[in-house]
């Protein structure tokens, strides 16, 4: 087994930090950002440099790779309570409903706790139709239900609370129901076993 000494390790991170900021080749900057996502989690300098690149690099792919690396570093930190994970997925729903103008391209590898998601996954919500958004949200909510330790009653209560506390979300859902989006809303919440009448009750409760 190869063993790097402390100086080797320090130099590796330091050189990568310079490469990702200054190398003239976007390919090299992309590859370096991905590498820092794997080895830079304990380096404040690496994280700081990735932030800078994610915000300021002129190349879309380099910024996307830096964001992927940052995600990888932060997602491996101690996990949040399960209810926060639920809220996280609700945020996805809200983003999709509240901000149809959001445009995001997933061109960089996304590394997660159980593997990698890699490939070209354009997500342009200004062009995606509602059915596609529904499918995506449904997948996320279905996934939530598959997590053994999340109790479905907790999930139901959390969604009810979210609707109560978030008038924007409530109005969006109310409008969706009024404007013929009944099937869409049904599809979104069916995976959690939430009946449409229950949901309608939460939406209309003031």
Does position 4 interact with other proteins (CB under 8 A)? The reply is yes
Q: What number of other Cβ atoms are within 10 A of residue 70's Cβ?
A: 19
Closest separation between CB of residue 180 and other proteins, Å? 27
Instruction: State the nearest-atom distance from the C-beta of 116 to other proteins, in Å.
Output: 8
Whole-angstrom Cα Rg for the chain: 21
| Span from 127-135, 161-169, 170-178, 189-197 in contact with other proteins (CB under 8 A) | 161-169
Calpha distance 102→53 (Å, rounded): 21
One character per residue 49-68, x = contact with other proteins (rule: CB under 8 A): --xxxxxxxxx---xx--xx
- Determine the Cα–Cα distance for residues 138 and 128; give it in Å rounded to an integer: 15
Residue closer to other proteins by CB (options 83, 196) is 83
Closer of 38 and 201 to other proteins (Cβ): 38
Q: How far is CA 27 from CA 34, 72, 110, in A?
A: 11, 19, 17
> Exactly one of 43, 46, 65, 70 binds other proteins (CB under 8 A); which one?
70
Stretch that binds other proteins, among 87-95, 152-160, 174-182, 185-193 (CB under 8 A): 87-95
Q: Which of 34, 39, 94 is nearest to 65 (CA)?
A: 34
- Angle at alpha carbon of residue 121, lines to 175 and 158, rounded to 5°: 40
- Segment 104 to 143, residues that bind other proteins, using CB under 8 A: 104, 106, 110-117, 123, 139-140, 143
Q: With contacts defined by CB under 8 A, how many residues of the chain interact with other proteins?
A: 80
In terms of CB distance, is 39 or 176 closer to other proteins?
39
In the list 138, 166, 186, 187, the residue contacting other proteins (rule: CB under 8 A) is: 166
- Hey, how many other C-beta atoms are within 10 angstroms of the C-beta on 62? 26
Please identify, using beta-carbon distances, which residue of 5 and 180 lies nearer to other proteins. Answer: 5
Contact positions with other proteins (CB under 8 A) in 11-30: 11-12, 15-16, 18-19, 21-29
Count how many Cα atoms sit within 13 Å of the Cα of residue 120 in the half-sphere of its side chain. Answer: 1
Please, what is the minimum distance in Å from the beta carbon of residue 154 to other proteins?
A: 16
**Could you count the other beta carbons within 10 Å of the beta carbon of residue 188?**
24
> What would the two tokens of residue 79 be?
């996990």
Rounded distance between C-alpha atoms, residue 138 and residue 190, angstroms: 8
């Amino acid at each position: 087994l190869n063993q790097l000494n402390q100086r080797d390790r320090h130099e590796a991170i330091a050189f990568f930090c310079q490469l990702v900021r200054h190398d003239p080749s976007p390919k090299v900057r992309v590859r370096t950002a991905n590498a820092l996502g794997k080895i830079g989690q304990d380096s404040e300098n690496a994280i700081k440099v990735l932030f800078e690149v994610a915000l300021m690099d002129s190349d879309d792919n380099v910024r996307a790779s830096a964001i992927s690396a940052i995600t990888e570093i932060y997602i491996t930190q101690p996990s949040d309570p399960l209810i926060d994970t639920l809220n996280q997925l609700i945020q996805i729903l809200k983003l999709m409903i509240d901000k149809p103008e959001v445009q995001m391209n997933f061109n960089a590898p996304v590394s997660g706790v159980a593997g990698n998601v890699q490939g070209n996954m354009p997500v342009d919500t200004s062009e995606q139709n509602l059915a596609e958004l529904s499918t995506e949200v449904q997948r996320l909510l279905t996934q939530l239900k598959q997590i053994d330790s999340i109790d479905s009653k907790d999930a139901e209560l959390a969604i009810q609370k979210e609707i109560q506390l978030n008038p924007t979300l409530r109005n969006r859902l109310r409008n969706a129901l009024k404007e013929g989006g009944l099937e869409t809303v049904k599809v979104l919440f069916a995976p959690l076993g939430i009946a449409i009448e229950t949901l309608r009750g939460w939406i209309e409760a003031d």
